[in-house]
Structure 1
Amino acid sequence: MMTNLFSVFDPSTNILNISLNWLSTFIGLLMIPLTYWFIPSRYNIIWNNIMLTLHKEFKTLLGQSGHSGSTFMFISLFSLILYNNFIGLFPYIFTSTSHLVFTLSLALPLWLSFMLYGWINHTQHMFAHLVPQGTPSVLMPFMVCIETISNIIRPGTLAVRLAANMIAGHLLLTLMGNTGPSLSLFLVSFLIIGQLALLTLESAVAIIQSYVFAVLSTLYSSEVN
């Protein structure tokens, strides 16, 4: 039962054994050039305001020690995840953010680059992070172990948080949808209302999870400076 249930997330579209599902990730790139040829619409103005707000917030999180222009990397990350979260809500479109292959490919290189940069350029600062201020001498070895483990699992928690949240909502939608044919017309009307409410919730989750991923990445970046 569980194998069949999770099989809805398996890549299935292929030509000559080449998986085409992951191409849905890049559909958004086709829309970007169009914005350069039209007078800015309301959609563009709203999106630019969102980007500006995120830039200011990420700039605050990075602090004075953050590099100029580094906020654009996190804004791009937010945009990519948000787009893929939303496009996965459409029927018959592959949800790439529900796979650890995609989420780990974003989280692991980011975390690794932060760690390499921090340990090479700010070694003393990174060592200081392993022992929180005011820790008793007896607890210092334990705190070093705890801080080290919590640091190592960061890319995993980032990736699993995003993938699990995407899978959970889609599974619930799939389970509710599969019960439809066996219900009466009266109950189907309630099912549709429930599905619409759940879809609205999933839209909110798509925004929140992309924001959380970008903010946590920004916070991890600010710690190494």
Structure 2
Amino acid sequence: MMTSLFAIFEPSSSIFTIPLNWLSTFLGLLFMPLAFWVAPSRWGIFWSKLMETLHKELKSLLTPTHVGTTLLFVSLFSLIVFNNSLGLLPYIFTSSSHLVMTLSLSLPIWITLMIYGWLNHTQHMFSHLVPQGTPSALMPFMVVIESVSNLIRPGTLAVRLCANMIAGHLLLTLLSQTGPHIASSSMLMVLLSSQVLLLLLESAVAVIQSYVFTVLSTLYTGEIN
């Protein structure tokens, strides 16, 4: 039972050993607003306004020297939200539910920030290891705690996104498997209603987790002064 349940997340479909499931990562390009290709549309105007609002919010979290990096994080948000949303459609592989995908997003960002910070702002990076006002007796412990907290940042970013996407999909799958065994029409309507509500919740989670991933990455960047 558990093997077949988790099999929905297994990237096993392939042709000539090419894992075609991972092509779903690039399907988001097909949903880009038409304003980028043909002419302005309501969808294009909405997406442009959304990106502009996100840019202003991320800009406020960054120092003036890092403002240009908002383009990177807005693009990151777009990639994640498209992948999360596409995963809610039938027969489309959810690449963001795999640590391979999420770690590929969080690890390069964290490594780049660490290299840049330690090479250009070494003293400031050392000061982050000991929060202001820490008693002298607790300083060695705070250095260890802050170092561990810094090292697990890419993992927490990746696992948070991956786990939230897996949890919703598993719950939808478990509820859908009980449908054929329900004889009562009233219980079947309750099941369908709960499935619709859960699908709406998962749609919100897809956007919220993309936003959380982007904002946390921006906050980590803002710490590198």
TM range (shorter): over 0.9
Give the Cα–Cα distance (whole angstroms) in 2 for the partners of residues 6 and 37 of structure 1. 39
Q: Which residue of 2 aligns with 1:194?
A: 194
Structure 1 stretch 13-22 or stretch 72-81: which is displaced more?
A: 13-22
Q: Is 1:91 matched with 2:113?
A: no
Q: Which residue of 2 aligns with 1:114?
A: 113
Cα 1:33/1:210, change in 2 over 3 Å: closer
Matches within 5 A, 1:1-225: 1-32=1-32, 34-64=34-64, 66-184=65-183, 185-225=185-225
Q: CA deviation at 1:18?
A: 1.4
What CA deviation, in whole Å up to 9, does each residue of 1:49-106 have, x standing for no partner?
1101111110000133x32421010000000000000000001100000000000000
Letter in 1 for 2:37: W
Give the Cα–Cα distance (whole angstroms) in 2 for the partners of residues 37 and 153 of structure 1. 41
What CA deviation, in whole Å up to 9, does each residue of 1:131-173 have, x standing for no partner?
0000000000000000000000000000000000000000000
Q: CA deviation at 1:34?
A: 4.4
Q: CA deviation at 1:31?
A: 4.0
The runs of 5 or more residues in structure 2 that have no matched partner are: none
Give the number of aligned pairs. 224
Letter in 1 for 2:113: F
Give the Cα–Cα distance (whole angstroms) in 2 for the partners of residues 33 and 211 of structure 1. 19
Give the Cα–Cα distance (whole angstroms) in 2 for the partners of residues 107 and 143 of structure 1. 25
Q: Residues 96 and 161 of structure 2 are in contact (CA less than 8 Å); yes or no, is this contact kept in structure 1?
A: yes
Structure 1 stretch 29-38 or stretch 215-224: which is displaced more?
A: 29-38
Q: Residues 130 and 143 of structure 2 are in contact (CA less than 8 Å); yes or no, is this contact kept in structure 1?
A: yes
Letter in 2 for 1:187: M
Give the Cα–Cα distance (whole angstroms) in 2 for the partners of residues 146 and 51 of structure 1. 36
Q: Residues 85 and 206 of structure 2 are in contact (CA less than 8 Å); yes or no, is this contact kept in structure 1?
A: yes
Give the Cα–Cα distance (whole angstroms) in 2 for the partners of residues 166 and 31 of structure 1. 20
The runs of 5 or more residues in structure 1 that have no matched partner are: none
- TM-score normalised to structure 2 length: 0.96
Cα 1:32/1:43, change in 2 over 3 Å: closer
Q: Secondary structure at the match of 2:39?
A: coil
Q: CA deviation at 1:33?
A: 8.1
Cα 1:200/1:32, change in 2 over 3 Å: closer
- TM-score normalised to structure 1 length: 0.96
Q: CA deviation at 1:3?
A: 2.3
Cα 1:37/1:103, change in 2 over 3 Å: closer
Q: Secondary structure at the match of 1:40?
A: coil
Give the Cα–Cα distance (whole angstroms) in 2 for the partners of residues 33 and 193 of structure 1. 32
Q: Residues 34 and 44 of structure 2 are in contact (CA less than 8 Å); yes or no, is this contact kept in structure 1?
A: no
Q: CA deviation at 1:186?
A: 2.4
Give the Cα–Cα distance (whole angstroms) in 2 for the partners of residues 32 and 8 of structure 1. 27
Give the Cα–Cα distance (whole angstroms) in 2 for the partners of residues 37 and 78 of structure 1. 20
